Chains A and B, each alone.
Chain A
Amino acid sequence: MEASSASSSSSSVTFYDFLDRMRNPASLDLVRSIKSFIVSFSFYAANPDNDAKKVQEFFTTMEDTIRDHPIWAGATDEEVDSAMEGLEKYVMTKLFYRTFASSPGDIKLDLEISEKIQLLQTFLKPEHLDIPSVLRNDASWLLAEKELQKISAFKAPREKLLCIINCCKVINNLLLNAAMSENHVLAGADDFLPVLIYVTIKANPPQLHSNLKFIQLYRRQAKLVSEAAFYFTNLVSAKTFIVDLNAKSLSIDEIEFEESMQAARETNKLIPEEFFTTQEVMTTSQGQIDPGASARVHHKETNAGGSNYPYMEAEAGDLTVRDVERLLSLYKDVVTKYTTLCKAVKSFPPTKTESSLPHLEGSSILSTKPEENTENTRE
C-alpha cells in the first residue's frame, strides 16, 4: 500500500542533485544559511534535546525558504521534498559526530543492550516468544537481520530509518508467504512483533539505542509519520522489550532462564583466554608447520602485559575462518572503545583555536563528497 512512501527514488541521485543546485551561484544565500547554521553549533556544548529542536526548526524554515527560492521556482512538492532530503542528509552528516551517541549515557546504554543481546543469543529460541513454526524461516530472518545491521553504515537519518523499514518489510513478506503457502492465519501485530524482536536479537544491530534516538530526534518530523513511524515504533518497542526482558517476558522456565544467562555471562568472561588457547590449538590442528607463528603470537601476548591482542603478528595466511570471526568481534570491540575514547577526548575544550570543522573554509563547504554514498540500491 504505502510501500513507496519512504523511498523516493534513488537517494544518491537526489543528493547529488541537491549538491548541484547548491553549487549554483544563485543559491549562495542558501549555502550561507546552511553554513552558518552548522557553524553555530560549534559555539555550544552538545545537548541532544536542544540540538534536535534547533535542527528541526532549521529544516522547517529552510523548507519555506527553498519553496520560495528562485532556483526552485515552479518546483513540485516532490522536488522540494527531495531538496529537503538532501538538506537533511547534508546537515546531519556534518553534525553527525556531535549528535550521534553523543552522551556517555547513550554509549553506556548501547553497550548494555548489545551485551544483553549477546547473552540472549546464546540460548533464545523462537518458541520462547511463541513464534509459530510456520513463521520460522531462517533465510528471511537472515535477510531481515542484514537490513537491520546496516543501520550504522549510514549517517543520514532517512537512510537509517530505511534500514528499519526494509527489515520490517522483509518480515511482512515472510508473514504473507506463510499465509499463502502454509495457510497460516495471519494475526497482525501478534505475529509481527515477536518476529521483529527475535530478528533484532539475532541481528544485535550496532548502537541500537543511539540509532533509534538519532532517527527520532533528527529525521524530519514531517517524515516520521504513517507507516514509517509505525515500523520505527515497533523497533523502539522491540528494544524496550529487550531492555526490560526477564524470565517472565518469555515462555521459559525461570530457573532455566537464569542459568542460561549466567552460563552466557561466564562464557563471555572466558572469551579472552579462549581466544588465545584455541588460536594455538587451531594452528596446530591445521598442521601448520610454523611453530614460529604460534611462538610469536605467544610472545606478543606476554609483551602486551596480559591484554588480548593475539593476532598482532599473525600473517593473513595463518588465519582460519574461525580466526576471522574472532577478529571481527575484536575489531568491533576496538572500534567501540576507540569511538568512546574519541568522544571523551573531543568533549574537552580545544586548547588551540583550530577549526573543528575544516570544511567550512570558503565555498568548499559543499565540495566534500558525502561520506557514505555507497551505491546501496535501496528501494
Chain B
Amino acid sequence: MKSTENKIIHPLENAGVPEDQRHLYCDASPRPYPALNKYVERFLNWARANSLWILGYGTGCGAIELRPLLTSRFDISQYGMNPRPTPRQSSVFIIGGYLSVKTLKRVIRSYEQMQNPKFVVGLGSCTVNGGMYWDSYNTVNRLDYYLPVDVYVAGCMPRPEAIIAGFEKLKSTIMAGQAEGANEYAERFDWYKSNQKKIIKDWDMPDYNW
C-alpha cells in the first residue's frame, strides 16, 4: 500500500463508515491533556496508581495466567486492582498475548473507548516481538507500533508473580508521572493511525472510536 493512502486528514473523515452514518461519529482526533499543578497532579497520580481497574483482553494463550491472578490464589484485589467489564470503566488494558490483525482491530476500538488516563500492559513475548508466532502471516509483531505500551511483561507465558511485578512497575511509573500513554497516543495520533491502517486493510469503523 502506498504511504499517501494512509495519510490522516483532520478533522477525521471517517471514510470507513457508510456515508449516511458519518454524522453520527466524532470527527475530532484526541488531544493531549497537560499536567495540572504539581501537587494536585502528585495526589492524582497517587490515587490513579492505587485504584487500577483492569480491562482484560485475553484471546492469547498467555491470558490463562490472569485467572489465578484474579481469583483466590493470587488475589489481585489486595493490590487495589479490580477487573471491570467495559472499557469505559477501566484504566489498565491488559493485552494477554498474541494479536492477529482481526483482534488488533477490536483492541484498538476498546483502547480508544477507555477514558484518560489509561495504561497498557503487554503480557508475554508475543506482544514484545511476536513471540513464537513472529513469522506468521497474521500475527502482529510489536504492540507498541499500534498502541502506547507502558509495561511489557516478558515470558511465554509469564507467571502470575511476574505479572504482579509488572503491575508494581506500572504503579511506580504512574507515581512518577511518567505513564503518559494516553497523551502520547494523542500527540502521535497520525503515526499510530497510519501504522494501524497499514495492516488493517478493511477499515470499516470510525477513525477514532470515542
- To the question of whether A and B form a pair in one complex, the answer is no
| A interface residues with partner B (beta carbon < 8 Å) | none
| B interface residues with partner A (beta carbon < 8 Å) | none
